[in-house]
Structure 1
Amino acid sequence: MFGSGGYYYSSDLIEWKLIDDTNLPTESFAPTVVEMQGELYYTASYATDTIYKTDNPKSGVWEAVACNFPPGMLEPMLFYDEGRLYLYAGAGNSVSLTGVEVDPRTFQLLGEPSPLIRSRQRDNGWETPGDHHDWMDATPWLEGMWMNKRGGKYYLQYASPGIQFKTSNDGVYVSDTPLGPFTLAEHNPLVYRPEGFTTGAGNGGTFQDKYGNYWHVGTVAVTARHYFERRLSLYPFFFDEDSVMYAYTELGDYPMIVPDHKITSPEELFPGWMLLSHNKSVRSSSELRKYPACCAVDEDIRTWWSAETADKGEYLSVDLGEECEISAVQINFADHDAHLFGRSDSIFYQYYLEESADGKKWNFFGRQVGEYRGCSS
């Protein structure tokens, strides 16, 4: 997983380690990585004149192996299949997304890119822009192709109508060959989450874990401070008995069980917990006028509570209305008025949690104070 000045890796999808001491141009957007014969190859949008490779990604050291790869490719995706390499690329609101075979040794194109996907907004309602697909006169932005192969079928995914919308999603076409012709799959959009705390799920990628389970990393639309402000979310993927691919996005907001074995249904991921704090009564030590305490429990990622200061003693209290069994606490930070950029190993959020049955006598909830820390960004 690339970004933030480096890339992350994990063996269990829970604990992620960052490699930030690397010679890759990791801030070039929309990168692609492909594994070929035990080595990883990397390139990115506007950096596609160079291909890098490594046989030890944990080292952070990559070697430039091709410096004349066609430059200017937007949103590239490299796909290796039975000794042959393919490049999918393209982004725009009036363009075709294309595919072409690439020589896996010289990285030269073996022909001209062929148009594979073009907007069909009139037929595909999910391609209509807007938070509610209500920009009827606007043209969708298509991008972010991704390819998976399963059972001899090729599943070509693409993003629309724009990463800034709650309706950002991924669709999928299916073919018997890597370069088509492709047919729109029966189930579309493939990944879709227009409502909830986190909304938007498009412009992502689909992969398998070490147990063979499929997962999709999608981008969540925030757009509170910047038009393209986003976060990442992880959704489980499945294939039904007819090899129709589908995603399960209901647990995009909340804790879920990360399996340590092969699973067959989304129900195996549900821990049995339900949200307790939605729109419950809240009190706070202080609040800014445009960021009242009620925004802490309104389940809208684009709103939040902010105290008047960052001083010790500021607090937020949520009244659940009755005694409840609490299995997990999720805290989402908005970084209100933060002016710190980059990463720091010495600056943290500092807070502690208490619980009370009567609002008078308070006890530490869970671990002791000082163990709840989140790295500021």
Structure 2
Amino acid sequence: MKFISILSITFLGLVSGGYAQQQLNDTTKAPAPALPGVYADPHIAVFNDKFYLYPTTDGTEGWMSTNFTCWSSKDLVNWKNEGVILDLPKDLAWADARAWAPAIATKNGKYYYYYSADANIGVAVADKPTGPFKDPLGKPLVAKGALLGQMIDPMVFVDDDGAAYLYFGQGNCHIVKLNEDMVSYNPAAVVSFKPQGYNEGSFVFKRNGKYYLMWSEYDTRDPRYSVAYATSDSPLGPFVKAESNPVLKGKGSVKGAGHHSVVKVPGKDEWYIAYHRFKIPGGNGYNRETCISPMRFDSKGNMLPVDVFEAVKPVKVSKKGREAER
């Protein structure tokens, strides 16, 4: 009986271990998206004790959405729809469709919302991260045709010294330091370049004194859509592309993983990446869903490949962490 019991335990252990390994290698059961429905190009941010997502509203061929929504969360897992924060036909005099790829930054006690509208880049201002946002210029911040490529996909990075930089462009990457008012800049100071493989969706963050420039490669309708990165000692570059790329790409049932943003949990060296993938099932480049995954680094500061099958566990922003970031 004892012999049989040992064999049984060994057999059960092998079966259990094999099942666990099978679960680990299963690329058919992707985690649920962060947001319900179809949303793409998510910009993720943290203000005070909440996380926020600012996506493109998806689901129309040609990406013809006309407004932007905001979503908030206390834990990165449960998200609340804060409603429409900018409606192009109502709130703008110069564009009424193709509301794409927003980003947000805070400075001077205000929140500045940067977005694409009819292939121009606009800026709107609010007193709260949930809006409502108002157009302070009555015209694009960067008009179509101003530079090489499409004037879309804005992102703003505010450095430790308070200086703010605008990154934007499809086909080419453009960088310019914003003026103190956050709604103007010197056109003669724009730096333009094209990293190898660059297509669109630039995003910048800083970790341990190093600047990371990330971007999407291929076309968003291509299942190979993915994210690569480069580093620099300056927010204006030059940026050197990392040897290990891409750091985010699809696998198995996950297709077209890209157009991302990154958030750091205040007070911790803990990072998360928000991005879109083709809707599962039956998605494509016009029907995409927003996802979040953990993002990690090795001891040398190199970004590690993101596991698009790793689910996010609830995360809290502590008061101590908030104060540490100030």
TM-score band by shorter chain is 0.5 to 0.7
- Alignment correspondent of 2:299: 241
Displacement of 1:187 in angstroms is 2.3
Distance 1:250 1:78, change over 3 A: closer
Of 176, 179, 183, which residue of structure 2 is paired with 1:100?
176
- Alignment correspondent of 1:204: 260
Of 126, 134, 156, which residue of structure 2 is paired with 1:63?
134
Q: Is contact 2:74-2:316 (8 Å) kept? A: no
In structure 2, what is the Cα distance between the partners aligned to 1:183 and 1:201? 23
- Alignment correspondent of 1:18: 81
Of 54, 60, 65, which residue of structure 1 is paired with 2:126?
54
Matched, 1:153 2:181: no
Equivalent residues in 2 for 1:159-308 (5 A)? Answer: 159-193=216-250, 195-210=251-266, 212=268, 213-222=270-279, 224=282, 227-252=285-310, 255-260=311-316
In structure 2, what is the Cα distance between the partners aligned to 1:83 and 1:211? 19
Matched, 1:90 2:148: no
In structure 2, what is the Cα distance between the partners aligned to 1:248 and 1:171? 11
Which stretch of structure 1 is more off in the superposition, 151-160 or 60-69? 60-69
Matched, 1:30 2:138: no
Distance 1:149 1:225, change over 3 A: closer
**Which consecutive segments of 4 or more residues in structure 1 shift more than 6 A?**
none
In structure 2, what is the Cα distance between the partners aligned to 1:244 and 1:35? 28
Structure 2 counterpart of 1:30, one-letter code? A
Q: Is contact 1:163-1:219 (8 Å) kept? A: no
- Alignment correspondent of 1:9: 72
More helix by proportion, 1 or 2? 2
Q: Is contact 2:156-2:167 (8 Å) kept? A: yes
Cα RMSD, aligned residues only? 2.7
Of 106, 114, 126, which residue of structure 1 is paired with 2:191?
114
Residue deviations 1:193-239 (CA, integer Å, cap 9, x gap): 2x222223211111113463211111102494654321111111112
Displacement of 1:186 in angstroms is 3.1
In structure 1, what is the Cα distance between the partners aligned to 2:317 and 2:104? 26
Structure 1 counterpart of 2:162, one-letter code? G
In structure 1, what is the Cα distance between the partners aligned to 2:87 and 2:178? 22
- Alignment correspondent of 1:75: 153
Distance 1:240 1:197, change over 3 A: same
In structure 2, what is the Cα distance between the partners aligned to 1:106 and 1:11? 28
Matched, 1:44 2:115: yes
Displacement of 1:191 in angstroms is 1.2
Displacement of 1:246 in angstroms is 2.3
Between 1 and 2, higher relative CO (CA 8 Å, sep ≥ 6) is seen in 2
Distance 1:227 1:260, change over 3 A: closer
Structure 2 counterpart of 1:89, one-letter code? F
In structure 2, what is the Cα distance between the partners aligned to 1:49 and 1:161? 22
Residue deviations 1:120-161 (CA, integer Å, cap 9, x gap): 3xxxxxx5xxxxxxxxxxxxx700000011111110001011
Q: Is contact 1:162-1:168 (8 Å) kept? A: yes
Residue deviations 1:241-293 (CA, integer Å, cap 9, x gap): 101122421425xx45334589xxxxxxxxxxxxxxxxxxxxxxxxxxxxxxx
Q: Secondary structure at the match of 2:111?
A: strand
- How many residues are matched? 235
Q: Is contact 2:254-2:308 (8 Å) kept? A: no
What is the TM-score of this pair, normalised by structure 2? 0.64
Unmatched segments (≥5 aa) in structure 2: 1-52, 58-67, 89-96, 145-150, 319-326
Displacement of 1:24 in angstroms is 4.5
In structure 1, what is the Cα distance between the partners aligned to 2:103 and 2:208? 24
What is the TM-score of this pair, normalised by structure 1? 0.56
In structure 1, what is the Cα distance between the partners aligned to 2:302 and 2:223? 25
In structure 2, what is the Cα distance between the partners aligned to 1:178 and 1:142? 19
Displacement of 1:46 in angstroms is 2.9
In structure 1, what is the Cα distance between the partners aligned to 2:255 and 2:125? 35
In structure 1, what is the Cα distance between the partners aligned to 2:287 and 2:163? 36
Displacement of 1:99 in angstroms is 1.0
Residue deviations 1:150-179 (CA, integer Å, cap 9, x gap): 111110001011112222111001000011
